[in-house]
Structure 1
């Protein structure tokens, strides 16, 4: 994957603009406005299917897309048009539309006129062009930045002959297809490794390390069989609720999610669950179990590794006996699939966005677990085996990053003439 080894053109000229740099001498320098015609026809989404403009291209409107009540005030899109979301917070959301339809007015709709659609689909989605497109925009801050057509039409483009445009498009289509397939395969491998890791942890923390050990019925349907020497106790005999409050709000601010468990937040001015004054937030210390009451049904909980403050609505529980649990074991147990499914079943509310898992539910819940010494053995075993899996995942993530970087560089090089494909 070395772009530098690719063939180049015989001679180059300075384009005079930084995003293009030196381009082949035979390529024509022209302004974008001469290559496209802006389509500004207003239509209704009742007559033309609403479309979503994403980083992966143009699709029928996604169910998750933000919708407005102004469906009669949209822009017409015809198949073959190139559509760009002009907002900086949608950077890179663009593509050649395969469909007739309509988009919100924030989008710029371009009809290719003096440029092949298949070529413009690569050059206008290239990283270098996207950066130039937003550089030409205006606004107060990044989140309120936008680019209008009368601004972008002045962008200098380097245009090869139609035959070269077609060859570059075919070359990039083939190369990107292979790269995307390689990325997809590695992402599937990562998903399988993560699933394997989760199964490993689940089995170890709920069944132990010895598959030949005698088992017993825990007496709890959702826990099932456990090693015969393990204990089964209700939460109220293992933990007490902590409701200590911060006097200053100056302690470390902690976040609790289903993906990361309990983690530190580096900034306190993030939009979250409390006002900027954190006085009255709940205090927790290392070793405390913290439940995100609203999202426990998704597994948003964990055992904190450090002291800090959390939302007053969160649940904090501290083991009654010192050294009764290995913190890592306890977190893995409480975040295992069977336990999370139990939170989901027990949480109360009208629908998923309103479900809550309260203290009395945790105290009524049973836990099946071994001695502290056996917990330590389980944790040591998991860290060794899971560590190998994590290393494999890390390697594949690095490979994916390299492939994506190569894809970006390859497109930039081809559409600006840094490499020759014919």
Structure 2
């Protein structure tokens, strides 16, 4: 990553007298957006497909990204035509970065503003897409929108039209936009590679725990068929038991307000900060169930995003969650936890679930829970397996954390590079395109 200090600067700067702009290169002008762009409203064509403006700044046909997870309008009232090259501003999501130049012809909801330059050859829409997304990600658009309409983050064309924007000459706009296209693509590619490496390491973690808890650590022991799909063959000397013979579901309603409310996360069971008002809150915590130190607690109502852990805290959890205890002398808590965490990670429990998955309500019924088979090695092997998995996971987690840190720094650099280029803090020259 290049150091900004070594990058070229403009010879002189001047005060723009605009709070959100600050200093700009002396030769740059200032203009309100309404003198640069106008809003177009076109009737869609019969065969036009839906164009979506995403929060990462891509404006493209919906089918180019994904086809699931969208709400389809029953009636496309007020839909408009979007043309390739339009600067598109999503009124409701602009604050989060949903501003960009469309790469496709199609149609969109009237919530979008399709903008085109007033004078061709003087305004580069790609430069202004970068500039406006930079404003959005700095929090400026959200604060501006809330200042105009209380409790609203809408950023409409009329709001955009009144903004004073830097106006470099067309050659500079184009040079900046092209430079950022190249550099951000390079950064994104590097981030993508590192994310793939993280995904491979996470898959490696799953393989390690799956192999350890179903096959043990000695590859030379005789094996037998378990008759259970997720276990397959397992060591001949291990036991196979249903959960109802080794655990007990407990439900102890607290009956009063006051105890700590616990939250089940992928990083453990934590005490919830009720005062912050964040996350899901209940009207009446007296109906919550007790969790004691050493109890297992799992969010069995959502087998995709839920999790399970052994509680290190006294408190209460939702009555919809499942609290259970280990009742089998020959079963180590940490080994049992490994099996349960594997059940979430590999979506094993998902196969036994019921509900409406697309609404996030895919639960693990008590009957399926009680009849779920688990392998049980001798105690000494359980302890060795837990130690082995922890040691291997610690190594992989360090590698994952390092890659995640590198990705974070690259994202910060990308944001800073865009900001420096579009605001004139650095001067983009043709030679920089080849570096």
User: What is the TM-score of this pair, normalised by structure 2?
Assistant: 0.86
* CA 1:129–1:196: 2 relative to 1, 3 Å: closer
Cα deviation, residue 36, structure 1? 0.4
* 1:226 equivalent in alignment to 2:234: yes
* 1:318 equivalent in alignment to 2:319: no
Residue 377 of structure 1, aligned match among 359, 381, 384: 384
Q: Is the 8 A contact 2:135 2:141 kept in 1?
A: no
Q: Is the 8 A contact 1:299 1:335 kept in 2?
A: no
Cα deviation, residue 166, structure 1? 1.5
Q: For residue 403 of structure 2, what is the aligned residue in structure 1?
A: 396
Q: For residue 36 of structure 2, what is the aligned residue in structure 1?
A: 35
Residue 296 of structure 1, aligned match among 294, 303, 310: 303
Runs of 4+ in 1 over 6 A off after TM superposition: none
**CA distance in structure 1 between the partners assigned to 2:191 and 2:401 by the alignment:** 14
Residue 99 of structure 2, aligned match among 90, 94, 98: 94
| 1:9-158 superposed matches below 5 A | 9-41=10-42, 43=43, 48-56=48-56, 57-61=58-62, 62-87=67-92, 91-113=96-118, 114-127=122-135, 131-137=139-145, 138-141=148-151, 144-158=152-166
**CA distance in structure 2 between the partners assigned to 1:350 and 1:417 by the alignment:** 52
Q: For residue 366 of structure 1, what is the aligned residue in structure 2?
A: 373
Q: Is the 8 A contact 1:44 1:73 kept in 2?
A: no
* CA 1:343–1:197: 2 relative to 1, 3 Å: closer
* CA 1:169–1:407: 2 relative to 1, 3 Å: same
**CA distance in structure 1 between the partners assigned to 2:271 and 2:18 by the alignment:** 44
Residue 180 of structure 1, aligned match among 180, 185, 188: 188
* CA 1:91–1:229: 2 relative to 1, 3 Å: same
1:117-168 Cα distance to aligned partner (Å, 9 max, x none): 2322322222468633333322323xx3222322222222112111111211
Q: For residue 335 of structure 1, what is the aligned residue in structure 2?
A: 341
* CA 1:343–1:337: 2 relative to 1, 3 Å: closer
* CA 1:128–1:363: 2 relative to 1, 3 Å: closer
Q: Is the 8 A contact 1:343 1:357 kept in 2?
A: yes
In structure 2, the residue corresponding to 1:335 is in which secondary structure? helix
Cα deviation, residue 189, structure 1? 0.7
* CA 1:65–1:217: 2 relative to 1, 3 Å: closer
**CA distance in structure 1 between the partners assigned to 2:123 and 2:61 by the alignment:** 25
* 1:405 equivalent in alignment to 2:420: no
CA RMSD between the two structures:
2.8
* CA 1:402–1:161: 2 relative to 1, 3 Å: same
Cα deviation, residue 253, structure 1? 2.4
Q: Is the 8 A contact 1:128 1:412 kept in 2?
A: no
Structure 2, unmatched stretches of 5+, are 430-435
Residue 170 of structure 1, aligned match among 163, 172, 178: 178
1:217-246 Cα distance to aligned partner (Å, 9 max, x none): 335344222223322222121111201111
**CA distance in structure 1 between the partners assigned to 2:305 and 2:202 by the alignment:** 17
1:300-353 Cα distance to aligned partner (Å, 9 max, x none): 4443343332222222221114683233x2222123259965533333457665
Q: Is the 8 A contact 1:83 1:97 kept in 2?
A: yes
Structure 1, unmatched stretches of 5+, are none
**CA distance in structure 2 between the partners assigned to 1:382 and 1:201 by the alignment:** 6
Cα deviation, residue 67, structure 1? 3.4
In structure 2, the residue corresponding to 1:201 is in which secondary structure? helix
User: What is the TM-score of this pair, normalised by structure 1?
Assistant: 0.89
Bigger mean CA offset, 396-405 vs 307-316: 307-316
Cα deviation, residue 72, structure 1? 2.0
Q: For residue 432 of structure 2, what is the aligned residue in structure 1?
A: none
> Aligned residues, how many?
416
